[in-house]
């Protein structure tokens, strides 16, 4: 599991439903009927009423951290 931390100026922009659909199709596939209902709701609900927005950011720095862990037979987590 990876964590990405980005720092820099950001702005909120109105949610663009067609763009949102393109992004979801890219990662979830073209068959919206098999998507989790929470993802479909982003496309079907009124974004303004729901409070859905895009965040546009111009990163000044990026950092990635490895947050992987393994569960041992004793149930104790250890860094991976």
pLDDT digits (tens, 9 = 90+) for 43-78: 888 888 888 999 999 999 999 999 888 777 776 666
Q: What pLDDT score was predicted for residue 34?
A: 95
Strands 69-71 and 77-79: antiparallel
Residue showing tokens 């041992």: 72
Residues 20-53 as b/e (b if ≥16 CB within 10 A, e otherwise) read: bbeebeeeeeeeeeebeeeebebbeeebeeeebe
* pLDDT at residue 3 in the model: 94
């Amino acid at each position: 599991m990876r964590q990405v931390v980005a720092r820099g100026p950001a702005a909120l922009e109105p949610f663009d439903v067609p763009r949102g659909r393109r992004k979801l199709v890219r990662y979830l596939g073209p068959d919206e009927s098999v998507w989790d209902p929470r993802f479909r709701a982003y496309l079907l609900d009124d974004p303004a009423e729901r409070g859905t927005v895009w965040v546009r950011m111009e990163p000044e720095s990026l950092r990635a951290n490895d947050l992987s862990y393994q569960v041992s037979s004793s149930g104790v987590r250890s860094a991976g």
